Structure 1
């Protein structure tokens, strides 16, 4: 009769044990078995019988699936808590035998641990907000934690800005989106800048700072948005959607509306947004290259988070009620000058009126022209953040209107200055919110000018650190109230904060053209309604040529009197 496998195995094991327990063995069989059991225990291997023998079902394991094995719980690591004892006091009980030197050494170690913990807490607070400022991010209204799901419809879409004070940035999901876009672009040979990853793009870091303030953004670099800029904007939008979904919010309309001037640019933006589909962000591109019926069927079959469209096709779909953009929270307009040249500024205005509330808006303008300023003022009605990495005069002075008057006497300068103030406050709906700066020459005539302004009903604040009252904080502010006019000398320009002033009146620029450029590139940093008024006389004829060149570079009209003054000075020089 053939032997079974168990018998053969037992025979082999017996032979092995006999060999180990031979005459040359230095230990007894009992000790050898103990050593073997210890080795099996250390290696994690045990005999099957050790887990199966004498095991009965229990209430915790009614089907005896664990074969009598117990669940071992790992003990939590004890946290090191510094001893709260006074210095120099001896311990009692088990530590009563410790010497004084030992206790002093322990006290020094405790001090070292406390200092280390303080450094870690300080470092953690610095790392927590490396880029984002403490201003409001995105939407303003806080969300109740008890709210499970709220639809952002027409009433709830009044531009709910995010609160960045309680959020960490950049988040892991934001980095995941940016990495997914970069990998896809590398595979498609659309992005070959391997030395500078998207995550360290300088424009993107500045954009994140501006977006965190909750204000609209005006890019004044003078170029259309690039692949890197698109990647950063859509990644930030995707991260905002993810954070809002965690709070229980969902969006009935597309979250991001990306307006482009052409079908080619729509295809480019769609290519950058495509990798986000695997992360739950769906993008739809609308342009004249496809039929209306095809796009209407596509919009009915999905609810996109991102919408990329040309203005004319979007207006056609809105007229057919094929899509609802009333709840858009993030609006990006690329190539505003191209839309102006193609005659789509009216279309752009109608699209903006279809969006309820005040969405985050980013505007890119390829060419600085005064004709595009009204369109920018319509899109960016509130406070803005200027985003520009260029140092050119045109980029830094975008949307600032320059008016230059040629005068023949000091009395004419004074009368024109008063007329400018009168016209400004009469035309403005809420003149009390305007911040006006009067820059006078260092000739000691400022006292006389202050008296004249005060006699005309204006209050004047002098000095480089002029105290401007916060009109928004006063409940009794009236739109018909004249604002406080700040006044400084030409020598105080370098120390004055010119970025807060919307209207600057420069009575004398005879010093140098650098003074004019310094004022132009530093004023009105948070608005699109900046105006710089300058007065010239015959003494300033040598500066007329430089002023004409600056006006032409900025795309603004050159007054005939200024051009005549320039020609006259050129003839005198020749």
Structure 2
């Protein structure tokens, strides 16, 4: 029976490999790599990365996978580090700012914040971001954000994915902000990224004609003008992939909260959302929660101030005069947390003074009319009642350094630490994945030396200082 072309090709390949392995015909690794590269180029199977690599392929790594460090493609775009194109975008913005006003030098200084933002936006699925560094985004933050969007667009296009336009929708409260953001995005035009700003400063007819002649990847707009153009069907925002709300407090001062919700509802996809908000105004937390649809978020901040890093975290101080009353007080607070929790399911971190105190609390917390399931190995238990479900993890201050408590939206400090700095570490480290969090503290007579510094922390964060704590701090 005659052999097919595939079988003959496989036979020729076996003979060729055998000839290459033979000692009398063996060549050096460098020459073998050059031959392999030439053969792939002639057969039309040359890798896209081959021309950009500084090392030649080898028989052990004929496609330069080791040097190219292939990224994983799983359920969308997921990468291990920013690409060189992102750095090119940042440098273009920096050079343009330096030529105009001598600025732009601080773009790379915010690199740690930018990489965290890139990780959130490039994850699969992407994570929403809430930044509480200040009232609005700085020029450096905007540069990192638009460069991250450029990087994602470039990667998608390289994979053959059709990118909907606009890809990024950047909402600003005023015309001045729109012009500022547009000036940051302008240097990206030479890199193939077009941006358009929409604001009341120009006629709507002019903007409609401009949108017809251009399909921008980035759209910077005020809410009012955007809704007007959407109503006239001059722009379609249903496929937006990234949504930025710059200055949530400013939008609330302009009574534009409903307009933001209308824009969010007009986006039919599930965009990655980044919100910049003032940390001192707690009234914006409800609007942020509504815009984010209660999804898991990531809190970011460019500074280390307690006020910024603990934004929208409520601090409540409970007095307990005697030590033997502490366990009943903890029971009462847990019942209150369970009753007030919106989802009727809560995850609470309970912090005790020592391991002995932690075990004592775990064994003594038996709520009335509740079913408590204990796990003595991990000092954790679950409370099931008619009200809801609460999972409690008990830790002591010594083991807190090795505990990841970012996922806990509620922390109950049964025993205050010797220094208020340890308390602020918990305050700024908890509730990193929710908009609103809570920290409860039980204050006893032994904690009197901490009254003044604790009052200062509460005041700086805009929290209510109880009368008993104010009297102790002033005495």
Shorter-normalised TM range: 0.7 to 0.9
Shift of 1:227: 2.4
After superposition, residues 14-413 of structure 1 pair within 5 angstroms as 125=66, 128=69, 142=75, 162-164=76-78, 167=79, 169-189=81-101, 191=103, 193=105, 198=108, 201-213=111-123, 214-222=126-134, 224-380=136-292, 381-410=294-323, 413=326
Match of 1:494 among 392, 401, 419: 401
| Structure 2 match to 1:457 | 371
* 240 and 492 in structure 1: CA distance in 2 versus 1, 3 angstrom threshold: closer
- Secondary structure at the counterpart of residue 458 of structure 1: strand
Shift of 1:404: 1.6
Q: Deviations over 1:372-407 (max 9, x none)?
A: 222232334322233334222123223322122233
- Secondary structure at the counterpart of residue 500 of structure 1: coil
Give the Cα separation in 1 of the matches to 2:139 and 2:450: 41
C-alpha contact 2:406 2:431 (8 A) present in aligned 1: yes
- Secondary structure at the counterpart of residue 370 of structure 1: coil
C-alpha contact 1:460 1:485 (8 A) present in aligned 2: no
After superposition, residues 408-487 of structure 1 pair within 5 angstroms as 408-410=321-323, 413-428=326-341, 430-432=343-345, 434-442=346-354, 444-454=356-366, 456-461=370-375, 482-487=389-394
C-alpha contact 2:248 2:276 (8 A) present in aligned 1: yes
Give the Cα separation in 2 of the matches to 1:243 and 1:443: 50
C-alpha contact 2:167 2:217 (8 A) present in aligned 1: yes
* 120 and 206 in structure 1: CA distance in 2 versus 1, 3 angstrom threshold: farther
- Secondary structure at the counterpart of residue 402 of structure 2: coil
* 415 and 197 in structure 1: CA distance in 2 versus 1, 3 angstrom threshold: closer
Give the Cα separation in 2 of the matches to 1:396 and 1:119: 49
Give the Cα separation in 1 of the matches to 2:473 and 2:339: 37
Give the Cα separation in 2 of the matches to 1:504 and 1:417: 12
Shift of 1:506: 0.9
Give the Cα separation in 2 of the matches to 1:200 and 1:495: 27
Shift of 1:520: 0.9
Give the Cα separation in 1 of the matches to 2:65 and 2:387: 50
| Structure 1 match to 2:474 | 570
- Secondary structure at the counterpart of residue 162 of structure 2: strand
Give the Cα separation in 2 of the matches to 1:168 and 1:447: 41
* Count of residue pairs the alignment pairs up: 423
Shift of 1:318: 3.8
Q: Deviations over 1:81-101 (max 9, x none)?
A: 99979xxxxx7x899xxxxxx
Give the Cα separation in 1 of the matches to 2:58 and 2:164: 47
Which has more strand, going by share of residues?
2
TM-score after normalising by structure 1: 0.63
* 233 and 81 in structure 1: CA distance in 2 versus 1, 3 angstrom threshold: farther
| Structure 2 match to 1:61 | none
- Secondary structure at the counterpart of residue 411 of structure 2: strand
TM-score after normalising by structure 2: 0.75
C-alpha contact 2:327 2:364 (8 A) present in aligned 1: no
| Structure 1 match to 2:433 | 526
C-alpha contact 1:453 1:460 (8 A) present in aligned 2: no
Shift of 1:479: 12
C-alpha contact 1:548 1:563 (8 A) present in aligned 2: no
Q: Unpaired segments of 5 or more residues in structure 1?
A: 1-78, 86-90, 96-115, 143-161, 470-477
